[in-house]
Amino acid sequence: MRIVTWNVNSIRSRESRLLAWLTAHQPDVLCLQELKLEDALFPHAAIEALGYRAVTHGQKSYNGVAILSRHEITDVTRTLDDGVADDQARLIAGTILGVRVVCVYVPNGSEPDSDKYAYKLAWLKRLRAWFEREGAADRPMVLCGDMNVAPDGRDVARPAEWDDTVLCLPEVRKSLQHVLDWGLTDAFRQHRPEAGLYSWWDYRGGGFERNNGLRIDHIFATRALTSIDAFVDRNERRGEKPSDHVPLGVVFTGI
């Protein structure tokens, strides 16, 4: 079973690329982030024509997540369900072939001294609490999405430019690690230990041309799942109107 995560940065701007990528690669599951549109505008027909169904949690202009699957999706949830007043569409989860798939768009956090950064740290804490209530580490679960965190130095091409930012500060790395400590491992890193594999390059300042990349998109899994390979599709950053993120995937067995 191949599970892929991809921040498309507006599904309307990326629809032709998305359909072409799905046709070429045909993963079992594709988790999308930053749809930037309401659910009523989601292009279900075009996706269903390729043999996929989709469950979505969208909102106008910002955020928005979806799970596309070649298989049935059941028990869909769209909230951290912790009583916190929060209208940002950043999570959707569903069960596919017995695997609980959790697709998230973690807040970026803007600047370290901002309210947005405080919201990011709080959101990661709420995500950990959600796993404590929702799941069990001995059950098959996958957490994937744009985590807006580069876990360590191997994930950053130019650490001097990024170490003091909301993607790399020790505090935010610890916050992500705290989620993992619930019972998840970095399935991509398990198969690709080398430095220099990135999932995002800033549009600004020729980020891709200078290969000023970071690995901030991730696929984490519980020990109940076995994976055999992982990949990142760097080529998707080339050509006309790419997203600033590329698809990143893991191949699981026994499902």
Partner DNA sequence: ATGGTTGCTTAGCAA
Active site residues: 105, 146
Sheet strands (E) in the chain: 2-7, 29-33, 53-57, 65-69, 74-77, 91-96, 99-105, 141-146, 185-186, 200-201, 213-214, 217-221, 226-232, 248-253
CB 21 within 8 A of CB 39: no
Does 205 interact with DNA (rule: CB under 7 A)?
A: yes
C-beta of 108: minimal distance to DNA in Å? 4
- Which of the ranges 104-112, 149-157, 168-176, 182-190 carries the binding residues for DNA, by CB under 7 A? 104-112
Q: Report the residue from 136, 171, 181, 203 that binds DNA according to the rule CB under 7 A.
A: 203
The Cα–Cα gap between 211 and 178 comes to 29
Q: How far is the CB of 106 from DNA (least distance, A)?
A: 10
Minimum gap (Å) between residue 61 Cβ and DNA: 4
Pairing of strands 141-146, 99-105: parallel
Q: Which of residues 34-93 bind DNA (CB under 7 A)?
A: 36-37, 60-63
The answer to whether the CB of 145 falls within 8 A of the CB of 109 is no
| 183 vs 207, beta carbon nearer DNA | 207
Q: Is 12 in the site for DNA (CB under 7 A)?
A: yes
Among 10, 79, 95, 190, binds DNA (CB under 7 A): 10
108 binds DNA (CB under 7 A): yes
77, 79, 110, 190: residue in contact with DNA (rule CB under 7 A): 110
Nearer to DNA, 19 or 97 (CB): 19
Query: Applying CB under 7 A, which part among 43-51, 95-103, 202-210, 221-229 lies near DNA?
Result: 202-210
Reference 91, options 55, 119, 64; nearest CA is: 64
For DNA, the closer of residues 174 and 241 by Cβ is 241
Q: How far apart are CA 230 and CA 246, in angstroms?
A: 14
* Residue 131 exposure: Cα atoms within 13 Å on the Cβ side: 29
CB atoms within 10 A of CB 102: 24
Among 27, 94, 107, 145, binds DNA (CB under 7 A): 107
We find the least distance from the C-beta atom of residue 60 to DNA, in angstroms, to be 5
Q: Are 43 and 50 in contact (CB under 8 A)?
A: no
Short-list 235, 223, 145, CA closest to 190: 223
Residues forming contacts to DNA in the complex (CB under 7 A) are 9-10, 12-13, 36-37, 60-63, 107-108, 110, 116, 203-205, 241
